[in-house]
Amino acid sequence: MRFLIDFFPILLFFGAYKFEGIYLATGVLMAATVVQTGIVYALDRKLQNIHKITLVLVLVFGTLTLILQDERFIKWKPTVLYAGMAVVLAAALWGWKKNFLQMLLGSQLKLPEPVWARLTVAWVAYFLFMAGINAWFAAYQTTEQWVNFKLWGYVFPLAFIIGQGLYIARFLKDEPESKP
């Protein structure tokens, strides 16, 4: 269910783009992201920072796209989001000596410190890769190609998450069963 909630704005964006073009698709994306954020809040009774940041960026870049009738704004939104997340994770890890990934997930996953550090570096690299590839599509490809990348490019996060799961699986210890 959560998977559908996360992908529903981009699927609606893609459908609206194919039906009517980038400006209708941008409006649909904005509305769908507001609805998505509302659903997440209704389910969890709170929003994670990533939901808040994504909502603000979609609304700001979407509004600029629609008011100025310039599709470049919505095309560059993912690059700004990914690059920003990479900078925050990197600055926290290397500048402030804090591991935000561990702070967020440490209560759910018990992993050694060096594993958390490697995971954070992997996330920084992943975010930089995604920022770079989106920037390349936004700058050098047609809007049609960029939209197709937005849809089919979801193979990258899926592959990254599967790879990450395989990596951390060897560090997870089985909890002994408690006797009744």
3-state secondary structure of 103: helix
Residue 64 confidence (pLDDT) above 60? yes
177: confidence class by pLDDT, cuts 50, 70, 90: low
162: confidence class by pLDDT, cuts 50, 70, 90: very high
Over range 100-106, report the average pLDDT.
86
Please report the pLDDT score of residue 180 as a whole number: 55
Please report the pLDDT score of residue 171 as a whole number: 86
6: confidence class by pLDDT, cuts 50, 70, 90: confident
Torsion sign over Cα 92, 95, 99, 101: positive
166: confidence class by pLDDT, cuts 50, 70, 90: very high
* 123 touches 111 (CB < 8 A): no
Lowest-confidence region among 12-16, 23-27, 174-178: 174-178
The better pLDDT of the pair 75, 176 is held by 75
Please report the pLDDT score of residue 42 as a whole number: 93
* 27 touches 40 (CB < 8 A): no
Q: What is the DSSP letter of 179?
A: P
Residue 2 confidence (pLDDT) above 80? no
How many DSSP H helices and E strands does the chain contain? 8, 0
Task: Tell me what the pLDDT averaged over the chain comes to.
Answer: 91
Residue 137 confidence (pLDDT) above 90? yes
Task: Name 130's Cβ contacts closer than 8 Å, sequence gap at least 6.
Answer: 78, 82, 156, 157
CA distance 106 to 111: 8
Model pTM score = 0.84
Q: What percent of the chain has pLDDT over 70?
A: 95
